[in-house]
Every structure is written in structure tokens, then in C-alpha cells.
Structure 1
Amino acid sequence: MEDHSSIQQVLADVYEAPWEEQAALKSATTGIKKLDEVTGGFQDGEVTILAARPSMGKTDVMLHFAKMAGWAGYLPLVFSLEMPKKLITSRLIASTGGYNRAKMRDPKRMLTPDQKNQWADVLGSLTETHIQIFDGAGQSVAEMRAKTRKLMHQFPGKKPILFIDYLTLIHSGQFYGGNTHLQVTEISKSLKTMAKEFDCPVVCLAQLNRSVESRANKRPMMSDIRESGSVEQDADVILFLYRDKYYDKDTEDDSLEIIISKNRNGAVGYIKVDYNEHTGRIEDHKEQSFALA
């Protein structure tokens, strides 16, 4: 019976609020200033869904979030159900050091002397993020929960933040006669329960279905998330990624739009960030702007 509070008790706690300095809400930073202002960062106990079409930059954005949270003192746990840890590591190094990803295949031959001199510093700063990578295929939410609990004991005093790549690859506990809709419903509910149980943020990537491609305006909407119904209900924040360059190869616009399509604690709209698709690096856009949807 520990989940019970009487209204008198709760009101007594805020009785002095108008005269007290408010302690700043500690939330994991997204590393993008404008996005932090709009969503308040990744809040404890909340599930954020990050969805886009393939090759739009989902994994790069997720790794950017993971690095920033790690440097801010969180413990990022990356459950990569799609990509092996070697690839994740090389992407982290490329985006942190500003190396072209193609060169990462053979650093000895392809990196310039300057880049080689910088190598140790890049690895040193990445070490400080304490990112933990689990790259087993078909992990279930129960396994993730067990691994999170184990790491919380290993790193006492550090709050975990979970990154899962991606939703429909999570192994469901039950088969439901092959009905993926019911499986995804169960998984999205379990993610929310896990976020509340550990009181930590959970960020999960999701694929979009092909209906986006057939529209004139290709910016994603909530109904484009695969098996979407339960996902859009259970998530606290839903972010979509969109790049003009993905559809129009001749455009000079290198920016990546982060569309905030659901936000329990604030406005919805979109934010532009600078994205380098060769290195995977993400930076604040020069004119920081947030446009309401």
C-alpha cells in the first residue's frame, strides 16, 4: 500500500510553495536547446517515441540523445535490437569526432594525421558518457528490466535512461496468434510500466509505414506509426524526423526537422537542427526557432 497519498498530505507538501525557491526539475537533456525548452528534456517516468522512415537519421538522433544524457550524469542504456555494438560504437566516434562514416571502415588508411591525433581525445570524451550497449537480437521488455536493475546496482547514484532501437523488434512475451497489433499494444504498455517502475525516461524508436510516401506533404503524422493506436496513447512525447534532402536530392537544405506531434507537458510544433549525414553529427540550428503546429 505504498502508492497511497491523502490530499491533505499532498497539499501540506506544497503549502509553502509560493514563498519557496523551486528546485529545478532535474531531467535528462536532449542536447538540443530549443527541444529542451519545449519538452523540458526527457522526464522521469515518461516514454518518448522517436519515429521516422528508414535512413532519415533515427539512430543518429538517438545516439546524440544518449551521449548528451551521459555527459549530463545519467546512465544511458542502449538496447540495439537492430545494429551490432561495433557499428553503434563507430557511429558514436564518427559523430563525436566529426569523422566521415565511410572513413571509419579503415581508419588507418583513410583518416588524416590531424584526425588520428584527435582520436584519443574523442575516445576519452566518449568514455565519460558511460553508455552501456546491449545488442542481443529479440530482447523482451522483461530482459531489459532485469538488465536495467543489474546496472542500477553497478552504478549506484546514477539514474538510467533507456534507449531502444526499435519498437517492433522487441520480443513480445505472448504470441497472440501472430497478431502484431496486440503484440505492439502489450509492448508499449510494458514500456510505460517500466518507465514508471524505475522512474526513468524511456526513449523508443519506431518505424513509419509506407503511407507517408504516397502523400504530397511527406511530413509524418501520428497515424503513420506502424500498429499505431496503442503507441500514440501510451507515449508521453512523440517526435518525428523529417529531412527535405531525403526526398529532394538537389536541395541545399541540410537541416533536420524534429516534429513534436504529442507533448504532455507543453506545445506541439517543430524545431530545426543541423544534421550532417556524412558524420551523423547533430547541432543546434543557427536561428533557433520553434514553430507551433
Structure 2
Amino acid sequence: MSIAEKAFLGTLMKAEYLLKDSVIAPEQLESTRHKEIMRRMLEYTRAGKNIDLITLTTVPDLDSLGGMSYLSELYSYADLERFDGMEKIILDLWKEREKRNILTLAAMNDWEIAKVIGELEKINQLKMDDHTSLQQALLAIYEAPWEEPMTQSSVTTGIKKLDEVTGGFQNGEVTILAARPSMGKTDVMLHFAKISGWAGYLPLVFSLEMPQKLLTSRLMASTGSFNRKKMRDPKRMLNENQKNIWSDVIGALHETHMQIFDGSGQTVAEMRAKTRKMIHQFPHKKPIIFIDYLTLIHSSQTSGGNSHHQVTEISKSLKTLAKDFDCPVICLAQLNRSVEYREDKRPMMSDIRESGSVEQDADVILFLFREKYYVKESENHSLEIIVSKNRNGPVGIIAVDYNEKTGRICDDKAYNHPFV
């Protein structure tokens, strides 16, 4: 029996919410026993019952499903992070079986070529949720010339001029935020994450380098305007005014519902599984995904050590992630050293480390530049956000105030919140 089917059913027992999302129908499983187990799962779910291992052992004819031992075996195959891959394997195997069945029927019944091709095409076009008839699409825009335009589904960046240029973070789009080390990437990402949380989104931060504890400290420092050095010993180093607002800062950050995943070497598939889980924990919130950073994402394929191929695969996976969940994905990226050898230190597309297809796949590419990073005696404390690529709008440079001691990004109240 297919191991993919065992792992698929075992994972459904472990994470019941996946059953509602799954594109697999019982009829697409190969094993008769597996078909029946999935049918029982669907019946139980419709009846409002759980489909965990313990509940399934109460079915009346347990022996016909293989008994407790077989259900336990299925559960042992559960693998939440590879669930999407299992679905693909099961669908691919089902398609192959269906094709063979069609060719057998065609030979037995002497079908015309056109009919054979038509039946095969139906299988190949299986993707269940990507169909829109032109009639539906036209109906949706029928009243457009007489209606007020609907506000586009996007989330503010918290930086007014950046919103004007990019329209904010758009659902289904990938934004790359790239800079040299210590330029302020993580602070800008955390600013975007806080703002999106306060705006009602669900910020999911995948921090592949910085531990949760340090990220939390940075969030407290930037939100409360606390010097980062003081965060090492708040009791001794914070003044009374800062201590008095400490709980207010915690309350404000609590409102964001930000979720932090700080495991190193995560794959996009693992991020997908965790995102799916969070969507079911917060069903009324749209996720927005932040990843720090690109070349630390672990490739799920063997690329023979070719980092260029790995980044290309990861870049395409991020775009698929954004489209499948219809949410914004913001991924940080490092720049190579070539920028250091130029007179003008402002980054360019070619400076993205192991760029692969990043330039092509990303919808928006932002670079960060601070003059003070290179000229220590400079009085210019601004941080330039360089919009180098913008698939749906103009490019340009936006300057914001940046306090490198606290990590705070200041703007002219693009988003109305007491701690912005």
C-alpha cells in the first residue's frame, strides 16, 4: 500500500483541520481500506465529531478498517510538514491510474481519438479551485463604471510615502527586502510586522537566524523607544518613565497577535504547514508572512550543492506560497560584497546574493541604504528605502527617520497608533 496514503491519513488524524483544506477525495486513494477510512473521517467531521486516533477506534466495524493496530500504524506515518507533498503524490498516482483506465476503455470500446484526448485533458486539468468562467469574471465587473472603487486588499507598510508608491503589501505578492548586514533589515521587517498586526492581519515571522528572545527584545526597544543596550538589564538601566510605560508597550505588542517561529533551517514546506495551522487557529485573520532571511531557508530538493539552483527553487516556492494562501510574503535577503567596492554604495539588483530567479519572481524589491553606515561622522540619520522593482507601480527612493539605538522607524503618522 502507498506510504503516501498512509502518511496522508495519519496526518489527518494528527491535524484534523487539514481535512477541510485537502483537495483529495476518498475515491482518489488506491487502497479500498484507505478509501473507507477517509469516508469515515468525512462522516465524523460532518457530524461534528473529532477524527483523532482515539475517536476513530470507536467506529462500529473497526476490524474492517484494520483494527486499532492499523490505525496506530497510520498515525505513526503522520508528517505535518510534508502534507502538501503527500497530496501531490496521491493526485499524481491517481491521474496515472485514471489515464490507464481511459486508455483501456478506449481500446475496448474503440473510442475516437478526439474523445480519448478530451478525457485525458479532463484529468490533467484537475486543479480543483483555479477555475473561473469568463461569464463570472465579466459579471464581477459589470457595474464597475457606476460603482465606487473597492479598496484594494492590501496592508499598510506604516510608511506613508512607501504606501503611495507600492500600494502597501498586496495579497499573493512577494516582496524582497535586501541590504548589507547591520543596515536595519530586521528593524524594518519588525516595523512592517507590528503595523500589519495592528491593522488586523496575522503577522507570521519565520526567523531563521535570530532567536525569539532577541526579536522580542528588539520589538520592545523599538516600540517603547528604549535604548537596546538598556534592554540587557531593564531593572537597573531603564529610568522611571520608561518603567512606567513598560506594561503599555507589552499591551500594544500583544494586540498584534504576532507569531514567531525561530527554528533554523526551515523549509518553505514547513513554513506552509505552520501557516496553515495558524490560519485555523485564527480563522478571522489574514496571514502576512515575514522571513529572515532568503539564503537561510533550507532547500527541500537536492541541488548538488549549487546554491544558485537552491535559491531559484526557494524563490519560486515563496511565490507559490503567496499565491496559494493569497497573502503577502516579505522575505529578507543579504547583499554580496560587490556594493562595498563601488563609489556609490546604494544597492542594485545584481547585488542580491545568489540572486537566482529572485529578480524575476519577486513582485517588489526594496533595498535599504544609510549614509551613516558608511560615513560615521555624518549627521544624516535617515534610512533610504529604495524601491528598485515594483511590478504594479513606480520605483523611487523613500527616506524615513531611523534610530539605530532603539531600532525605531519614524514616519509622519501613516498609521495611527500611539506607539508608531
TM-score (norm 2): 0.67
Distance 2:213 2:189 in 1: 16
Partner of 1:174: 301
CA shift for structure 1 position 12: 2.5
Partner of 1:185: 312
Partner of 1:280: 407
Larger RCO, structures 1/2 (Cα 8 Å, 6+ apart): 1
Partner of 1:5: 132
Distance 2:410 2:293 in 1: 23
Instruction: Map Cα deviations across residues 180-232 of structure 1 (whole Å, 9 max, x no partner).
Output: 00000000000000000000000000000000000010100001001113001
Unaligned runs of 5+ in 2: 1-127, 414-420
Counterpart residue identity of residue 6, structure 1: S
1:249 aligns with 2:376: yes
1:225 to 349, 352, 358: 352
Distance 1:101 1:166 in 2: 22
1:91 to 195, 198, 218: 218
SS in 1 for 2:356: helix
2:156 to 23, 29, 32: 29
Q: Say which is worse superposed, 3-12 or 256-265, in terms of deviation.
A: 3-12
Partner of 2:142: 15
1:73 to 170, 175, 200: 200
Counterpart residue identity of residue 226, structure 1: R
1:152 to 276, 279, 282: 279
Distance 2:178 2:191 in 1: 15
Partner of 1:127: 254
Instruction: Map Cα deviations across residues 152-191 of structure 1 (whole Å, 9 max, x no partner).
Output: 0000110000000000000101221100000000000000
SS in 1 for 2:304: helix
Counterpart residue identity of residue 68, structure 1: I
Preserved CA contact (<8 Å) 1:76 1:132: yes
Partner of 1:206: 333
1:101 to 228, 244, 247: 228
Counterpart residue identity of residue 279, structure 2: M
Partner of 2:323: 196
CA shift for structure 1 position 2: 3.1
Equivalenced residue count is 286
Distance 2:278 2:379 in 1: 44
Distance 2:248 2:257 in 1: 15
Distance 1:146 1:2 in 2: 19
Preserved CA contact (<8 Å) 1:51 1:58: yes
Distance 2:403 2:308 in 1: 35
Counterpart residue identity of residue 149, structure 1: R
Partner of 1:62: 189
Distance 2:347 2:409 in 1: 20
Distance 1:264 1:13 in 2: 24
Partner of 1:289: none
Instruction: Map Cα deviations across residues 234-279 of structure 1 (whole Å, 9 max, x no partner).
Output: 0000000000000000110000000000001110011000000000
Preserved CA contact (<8 Å) 2:206 2:260: yes
Distance 1:250 1:134 in 2: 38
Partner of 1:216: 343
Partner of 2:76: none
CA shift for structure 1 position 9: 2.9
Distance 1:266 1:173 in 2: 33
Distance 2:287 2:346 in 1: 32
SS in 1 for 2:315: helix
CA shift for structure 1 position 24: 0.8
Distance 1:177 1:17 in 2: 52
Counterpart residue identity of residue 219, structure 1: R
1:163 aligns with 2:310: no
CA shift for structure 1 position 145: 0.2
Q: Say which is worse superposed, 220-229 or 51-60, in terms of deviation.
A: 220-229
Preserved CA contact (<8 Å) 1:211 1:224: yes
CA shift for structure 1 position 285: 6.2
Partner of 1:258: 385
SS in 2 for 1:12: helix
Higher helix share: 2
Preserved CA contact (<8 Å) 1:273 1:285: no
SS in 2 for 1:178: coil
Counterpart residue identity of residue 409, structure 2: I
Preserved CA contact (<8 Å) 2:365 2:389: yes
Distance 1:79 1:2 in 2: 28
TM-score (norm 1): 0.96
Counterpart residue identity of residue 84, structure 1: P
Instruction: Map Cα deviations across residues 32-63 of structure 1 (whole Å, 9 max, x no partner).
Output: 01101110100000000000000000000000
Preserved CA contact (<8 Å) 1:274 1:285: no
Preserved CA contact (<8 Å) 2:311 2:356: no
Higher strand share: 1
